[in-house]
């Protein structure tokens, strides 16, 4: 079993990869001209959105457990 630090690293990598790919796929499908002007290609979009996703994950930081519980349980 992975230790907590390794597990968090895997969760972060999966979050960043999944978030950036899905956001860029949506942008290029829903707004192809704007997405192409802004990013050039879906690959460039993914690279740029990954940076943003990593920043958000880091900002989420110590509050991520409380945030997950609040969303799942419906409390604030």
- Interval 5-58: pLDDT, tens: 888 888 889 989 999 999 999 999 999 999 999 999 999 999 999 988 888 888
Number of domains within the chain: 1
- The answer to whether 27 and 49 have CB atoms below 8 angstroms apart is no
Extract the tokens encoding 69.
Answer: 């519980």
* pTM for the whole structure: 0.72
Q: Which strand (E) or helix (H) includes residue 51?
A: helix 42-60
What is the residue whose two structure tokens read 């997950």? Answer: 68
pLDDT above 90 for 63: no
Between 61 and 50, the higher pLDDT residue: 50
Its domain, for residue 57, covers: 4-73
Distances (CA, A) of 76 to 24, 57, 60, 65, 72: 30, 20, 16, 13, 10
């Amino acid at each position: 079993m992975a230790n907590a630090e390794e597990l968090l690293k895997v969760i972060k990598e999966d979050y960043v990869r999944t978030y950036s790919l899905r956001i860029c796929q949506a942008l290029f499908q829903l707004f192809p001209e704007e997405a192409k002007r802004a990013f050039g290609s879906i690959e460039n979009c993914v690279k740029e959105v990954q940076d943003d996703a990593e920043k958000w994950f880091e900002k989420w930081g110590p509050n991520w457990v409380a945030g997950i519980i609040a969303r799942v349980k419906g409390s604030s």
